[in-house]
Amino acid sequence: QVQLVESGGGLVQPGGSLRLSCAASGSIFSRDVMGWYRQAPGKERELVATIDSGGNTNDADTVKGRFAISRGTAANTVYLQMNSLKPEDTAIYYCNLHRPRGIYSDQVYPRNYEYWGQGTQVTVSS
């Protein structure tokens, strides 16, 4: 099992910055992809950014040039640096671990599996 714990959310003025952290516990494998998603009130959850074990990233167009995802020196930690924040960035931000189907150690995952953190609120307002 994997557990994800986010931290770093809060209230910030437009144009400000925040850094979110996600710590994963449990068995983490090189094929796992970690990322951040967000959900604003009345909207569906959407991708923000992902990063794989090789450091390859994928960012949503809405955050390119403003947000940066990275991994810590410990492979089980992921960060989201958010700069030039806008009111439309207001949402609950969720850490995600995507595990592709396959065999991991002695466990079989017959389908893709998603792990989620509990979420952290980010509010951008003056």
> What integer pLDDT is reported at residue 120 of this predicted model?
97
Which helix (H) or strand (E) is 83 found in, with range?
A: none
* Rounded to 5°, angle at Cα 22 from 26 and 61: 125
Q: Does residue 7 register a pLDDT over 90?
A: yes
Burial 114-124 (b: 16+ CB within 10 A, else e): ebebebbebeb
| 106 pLDDT tier (thresholds 50, 70, 90) | confident
96 close to 114: Cβ distance less than 8 angstroms: yes
* Rounded to 5°, angle at Cα 86 from 83 and 90: 105
Residue type, 82: M
Q: What is the mean pLDDT of residues 68-80?
A: 90
Q: What is the mean pLDDT of residues 8-24?
A: 97
Give the 3-state secondary structure percentages of the chain, helix then strand then coil, rounded to 5.
0, 55, 45
The number of angstroms, rounded, from the C-alpha of 77 to the middle of its chain's C-alpha atoms is 10
> What integer pLDDT is reported at residue 1 of this predicted model?
82
| 84 pLDDT tier (thresholds 50, 70, 90) | very high
pLDDT digits (tens, 9 = 90+) for 87-105: 999 999 999 999 999 988 8
Q: What is the mean pLDDT of residues 33-47?
A: 97
> What integer pLDDT is reported at residue 74 of this predicted model?
74
Q: Does residue 3 register a pLDDT over 80?
A: yes
